[in-house]
Chains A and B, each alone.
Chain A
């Protein structure tokens, strides 16, 4: 089954690049703000205490 994928993919770049829309725009913050605040309220206030990582590079 794996063989059928071989070299049949379409090129990634630039065919699938999203169309430019004349430069970045400010998001509609009034309507998105409430959704984002709702997502933020679900975050466990103490989860940072459980985030213990080793030093890497």
Chain B
């Protein structure tokens, strides 16, 4: 049986130091910010235990909203709690952004540093992730054939989910680059991560980044659930883009589970990912496995038509997804990019950059553009270019500022994040040894299991806390 939708997002943030005189590199400053979050702002409970070889005690912790902040490979990373609705996942994603920006303000550092929600560093070629998680049932066809139905959708969804970037990063095909290769000039491309995806299926998450990550780590009852973990996407600033990316992907997973997904295969998915992203004319032409030509829009329309046929009327979220998906594809097809401002990050960024270039008489290779590209992703609302757009056009929003404020403190109310958050609140009022994980909480040697993400566990968690000896 197919479960309802349950998803979560993970973001690795960049940190830009505006004032070098503060004398601390970003990878060290994130440790101070994390400590301030947990120790001064009381945002949650810092880990007391070793979670993994690279997550020693104190490396991170769970939050009052049921999500998690931690340090990963020099970046501060936020994982939303488990969410069941689109506006909910958008609110909890932005709650992480706002918590970090608020922490910089409270530390008196908002003039000296900014969090940047992007996925590339132009100076070193580094990339860092935006990960998506979708819960599916254990009987989801997690096979090459089943997942094969997902690949063409994922390769082409960047036309509305991409965040856009200047230039390109040419990752070598082999271990050794012979000669002095010449690379084409790419002034602008629509995806930040496309350059860094080098395989279609793989189980690890660094260096050999794949279109679909095949690691089997459900963080739930493994007999009932599986987690689809994706790392090919960009971090979105636009709420509309976040909702459309997560929503369309969840709908396509439903089609695959039900055996009604379109039967499409691409000739070379990894190459197609880059061809689409780098196409300056935005015709997005690719080749199918039978060598027939197609476009990213036509591939997306195949999935949209199947979703309209089998899933229309299922619930409010699904109907919003189907309508927004169709409208966005229509606008992409007509090439009226101004209609996409605020709804599609790459189109918004491109519009801003082209206007600025015309005004200041700049060319694509002017270094100022790289700085403006970064500023699009700046999470300080006073500085960030996306926030400037949002002030002008409220149609790009899918939640409200009040909801985001609430999501910084409170968990989603329909998932186990509610039970986890309740135990975190109680633990913050008592001095007890604890160990909090996604699927369980240990207190004073007693364990409380939460393997069903769709249960809130509120009553059971309250009983567990109040009836155990550790509280006496």
Residues of chain A having any CB pair with chain B under 8 Å: 2-3, 5-7, 9-14, 16-18, 20-21, 23-29, 31-33, 35-37, 39-57
- In whole Å, how far is B317's beta carbon from the nearest beta carbon of chain A? 8
Q: Among the listed B128, B352, B359, B395, which residue makes an inter-chain contact with A24, where contact means beta carbons less than 8 Å apart?
A: B395
In this assembly, does B87 line the interface, its C-beta being within 8 Å of a C-beta of chain A? yes
Cα–Cα distance between A39 and B139 once the two chains are bound (Å): 51
A50 touches B129 (CB 8 A): no
Please, which residue of chain A has its CB at the minimum distance from the CB of B315? A14
User: In the complex the two chains form, is B323's CB within 8 Å of A29's CB?
Assistant: no
Interface string of B121-141 (1 = CB under 8 A from A): 111101111010000000000
A42 and B368 alpha carbons, distance in the complex (Å): 11
Interface status of B12 (Cβ within 8 A of chain A): yes
A54/B392 contact (C-beta < 8 A), A17-B87, A27-B342, A37-B356 known: no
Contact A12 to B128, CB < 8 A, known contacts A17-B87, A23-B323, A43-B372: no
**A9–B408 Cα gap in the complex (Å)?**
12
For residue A41, which residues in chain B have a CB less than 8 angstroms away from its CB? 360
Within 8 A of A (CB), among B389-442: 389, 391-400, 402-403, 406-407, 409-410, 412-413, 418, 422, 425, 428-429
Is there contact, CB below 8 Å, between B374 and A47?
Answer: yes
Contact B339 A46 (CB under 8 A): no
Q: If the complex has contacts A12-B91, A53-B26, A57-B72, are A45 and B371 also in contact, measured as CB distance less than 8 A?
A: yes
User: B397 — which chain A residues lie within 8 A by C-beta?
Assistant: 18
| Chain B: minimal CB distance from A25 (Å) | 6
B220 within 8 A of A: no
Contact A43 B368 (CB under 8 A): yes
Tell me the minimal C-beta distance from B154 to chain A in angstroms. 17
Q: How far is the CA of A54 from the CA of B73 in the complex (A)?
A: 7
Contact partners of A52 in chain B: CB under 8 A: 25-26, 121, 123-124
Q: A17-B87, A21-B395, A57-B129 are in contact. Are A36 and B123 (CB under 8 A)?
A: no
Interface string of B357-373 (1 = CB under 8 A from A): 00110000001101111
Q: How many residues of B contact A (CB 8 A)?
A: 89
Say whether A7 contacts B385, CB under 8 Å.
Answer: no
Q: Are A39 and B385 in contact (CB under 8 A)?
A: yes
| 18 chain-A/chain-B pairs, Cβ below 8 angstroms | A2-B425, A3-B429, A5-B409, A7-B458, A12-B88, A12-B399, A12-B406, A13-B91, A16-B402, A27-B393, A36-B385, A37-B359, A40-B375, A43-B383, A51-B121, A51-B374, A56-B73, A56-B128
A25-B393, A27-B392, A35-B388 known; 15 new pairs, CB 8 Å cut-off, are A2-B428, A5-B409, A12-B403, A12-B410, A13-B86, A13-B91, A13-B412, A17-B87, A25-B395, A40-B356, A43-B375, A50-B17, A55-B128, A56-B72, A57-B72
Given contacts A32-B393, A36-B388, A56-B73, contact A6 B131 (CB under 8 A): no
Inter-subunit contact A2/B429 (CB<8 Å): yes
CB distance A50 to B20 under 8 Å?
yes
Shortest A37–chain B CB gap in Å is 6
B206 cross-chain contacts in A, Cβ below 8 A: 55-57
CA distance A39 to B402 in the complex (A): 25
CA separation between A29 and B438, bound complex, in Å? 45
Is the CB–CB distance between A13 and B123 below 8 Å? no
Does B341 belong to the interface (CB within 8 Å)? Answer: yes
Check if B231 is an interface residue, CB within 8 A of chain A: yes
A36-B352, A40-B375, A57-B131 given; A12·B412 CB < 8 A = yes
